[in-house]
Amino acid sequence: MPRIILRTLLKMLLVTLGVFVAGVAGLALWAGSEIASPERRGLQDYHREFLDNPAAHGVGLASFALKDGTPCVMCAPHPGGKLGARGVKVREQLVQRGITLAEPGKITGTLVLAHGRRGRKEDYLLIAERLCAAGFRCLLPDLPAHGDHPTAHAGYGVLETELPARVLTEAAERFGFEPRPAGLLGISMGGSVVVHSAAQADAPWRALVVISSFDSFTAVVEHQTSKLFGGWSGPAWARMAGAVYRVRSGVALTDIQPGRKAASLGMPALIAHGSADRVVPVSAGRRLFDALPDGIEKKWIEIPGADHDNVLITDFPIYTEVAEWMLRHVSGAE
């Protein structure tokens, strides 16, 4: 074969290889950057409707920021006892379960709610409406790298360990209420955040609820990359994305292990997960539950047919389960 043809073929091979390497590097850079700084979700029309008329939902709202700039919303039961349609339904279901409820408008405890990846605090307004109807004051922060939070990178619990307790403490000081009794609720990424918080030695929480979360973030990333690029290459893609994430955030994917934190929890914990979750497999939620110590009261709920994005809106009464858990373990209701 003439040398000129060989040189041409070699050049083509090198160019193809270079394009492939550049493509791999570009995808890894994109994936790692998405983990560190997900695209921020703006206010939605249903958020604005709620914010413009909170009384129609049976609540009062107050916006505030922590000393570090974390934006928050306090959502409290309407002082006049007014209820929204969702609150009425939850109260009816709780009464049917034999729960004795305080009069509408009375506050029996405080809950800090941590949203999921690509979410924002306003996503939890409709959740808070239901929990306020059950007698709770709800505190909703934007987590780092989400909503209007000034921080650029997310830590998935590792960097936010102290945030929920600071939300509780600073809100109590600002608005003049007793910080305890208090509980935690987190979904997906927020589940990891609240597990990290609850595992603190001086944690102020009486109870914990985690929905659609995981025991190991590495396993979730590998699951997602395997779906995108094939099972054989998923772990390799996860390692490359993890390297980018570590440079951006200072946190290794392997450090995000809420399952290890769960093993030291000393409070009642409810773990719920959709059986058809394609983002965080139900097996990840079950491993998180299995990591809980035997000496605490714990409950596992598998929501039939629920995926990651609709886990709260199936026919399963998940809001009533959450409210009952918090009433029994935070407020001491019978």
pLDDT tens for each residue of 5-15: 555 555 555 54
* Domain assignment present for 230: no
Q: Is 243 a domain residue?
A: no
Helix (H) or strand (E) segment spanning residue 87: helix 85-96
Q: What's the pLDDT at 18? A: 42
CATH of the domain at 303: 3.40.50.1820
Place 215 in a pLDDT band, splitting at 50, 70 and 90. very high
* 195 found inside a domain: yes
What pLDDT does residue 227 have?
76
What is the signed CA dihedral for 92, 103, 210, 42, rounded to 10 degrees? 90
Residue 18 lies in a domain: no
Whether 45 is covered by a domain: the verdict is yes
Domain that holds residue 311: 41-216+256-331
22 — pLDDT class (breaks 50, 70, 90): very low
Rg (CA), the chain: 22
Q: What is the mean pLDDT of the chain?
A: 91
- Residue 200 included in any domain: yes
Average pLDDT in the 257-273 region? 98
Split into its structural domains, the chain has a count of: 1
**Comparing 226 with 182, which gets the higher pLDDT?**
182
pTM greater than 0.85 (yes/no): yes
Q: CA-CA distances (angstroms) from residue 141 to 180, 185, 265, 311, 313?
A: 18, 12, 23, 21, 22
- On whether residue 29 sits in a domain, the answer given is no
CA distance to 92, 127, 185, per residue, from 322 (Å):
14, 10, 9
Residue 315 lies in a domain: yes
